Amino acid sequence: MARRPRNKKTVMDQINVTPLLDLTFMLLIVFMITTPLLEYAIDVSPPAMNADPRPDENTVNISLNKRGEITYDKQSVSPQELLANLQKLYLNTPRAIILISADGTRSYNDVIELMNTIKKAGFTNVSLITSAEATQ
């Protein structure tokens, strides 16, 4: 059966919906993928870094520098000496506040070990010291 050439003046009585369906399915797939991601996203707004000034009485400063050296009230100590000094301090002032400042390049594990040493001495009130962010 031979096809008749279409006359340019004939009216088209059908619409090609294939591109419309392709677009619809594409949007459906995109929404199916992104909706679960939006549902489980966590909206966190961190607090401003404007802490109260450090109290001077009943506080002890412990620092951990880049090389891993521990300083206890401006004196370099080993972890064993730190534990002994903290145990003596706990006997005299059990409500002392321990302030820890560590270099940002030190690993998380090093800071946790330092906190475990403080916990072994009996202290429960430990604070981490951070530097304030620059305001723009």
The pLDDT tens digits for 5-19 are 666 677 777 888 899
Residue 85 exposed, middle or buried by CB count within 10 Å (0-12, 13-18, 19+): middle
Q: Alpha-carbon distance 100 to 126, whole Å?
A: 7
More confident residue, 55 or 20: 20
Q: Alpha-carbon distance 95 to 123, whole Å?
A: 8
Q: Alpha-carbon distance 114 to 132, whole Å?
A: 22
Per-residue confidence (pLDDT) for residue 133, from 0 to 100? 58
Alpha-carbon distances of 85 from 26, 31, 61, rounded to whole Å? 67, 60, 12
Per-residue confidence (pLDDT) for residue 28, from 0 to 100? 94
Confidence of residue 104 (pLDDT cuts 50, 70, 90): confident
Q: Over the chain, what is the mean pLDDT?
A: 80
Residues 124, 96: contact at Cβ < 8 Å?
A: no
User: Tens of pLDDT along 44-85?
Assistant: 454 555 656 666 677 888 888 888 888 888 888 999 999 999
Which CATH architecture describes the domain 59-128? Answer: 2-Layer Sandwich (3.30)
Does 107 score more than 70 pLDDT? yes
Per-residue confidence (pLDDT) for residue 88, from 0 to 100? 93
Question: Which among 111, 112, 114 is positioned nearest to 86, based on CA atoms?
Answer: 114
Which of 10-14, 61-65, 104-108, 118-122 has maximum average pLDDT? 118-122
The structural domains of the chain, with segments of one domain joined by +, span 59-128
Beta carbons within 8 Å of 93's beta carbon, 6+ residues apart: 58
